[in-house]
Amino acid sequence: MNKYELVYVIDAALEDEARKAVIDRFNGMIEQNGGKVLKVDEWGKRRLAYPINYKTEGYYLLVNFESEATLPREIERNMQIAETILRYLIVKVEEKRSNVKPRPVRVAPEAPEAAAEAQPEAPAAPADAE
């Protein structure tokens, strides 16, 4: 099973009961299709960066869930149909790899003072002849 993050914006004009029904609908969709909701983080009502359908505020949610690879497409299809959803984004969360070794840090071979001493001096400029 893959891990995903779903961020979506619900129309802020909805009442609390209707908003709760929308949230339960999409969480239920994840559960019904064999997924597992790990965390639901309600960010609340916020001002949009730009108007969407003449609306300037939205109710933001972040949902972390696990599911098979086919479920995110089904969720996107349903969110596109729903008129109460202003925007949505589903991103697959990559897990950290523990077997990857960190790259060694390169250190300069010499200190700057030693490097300056090792360089030959530049030839002196010729004096102006009169």
Above 70 in pLDDT, residue 67?
Answer: yes
For range 48-74, the mean pLDDT: 94
The pTM of the full predicted model, rounded to 2 decimals, is: 0.70
Q: In a 10 Å sphere around its CB, with 0-12 CB exposed, 13-18 middle and 19+ buried, how is residue 84 labelled?
A: middle
Residue 113 domain-assigned (yes or no)? no
Q: Which of 77, 62, 74 is nearest to 5 (CA)?
A: 62
Q: Using one digit for the tens of pLDDT, what is the confidence trace for 21-45?
A: 999 999 999 999 999 999 999 999 9
Residue 101 domain-assigned (yes or no)? no
Residue 82 domain-assigned (yes or no)? yes
Domain that holds residue 35: 2-87
- First-to-last C-alpha distance (Å) of the chain: 87
Residue 10 domain-assigned (yes or no)? yes
Residue 97 domain-assigned (yes or no)? no
Q: How many domains does the chain contain in total? A: 1
pLDDT band at 106; cut points 50, 70, 90:
confident
Residue 79 domain-assigned (yes or no)? yes
Residue 60 domain-assigned (yes or no)? yes
CATH at residue 63: 3.30.70.60
pLDDT value at position 15? 94
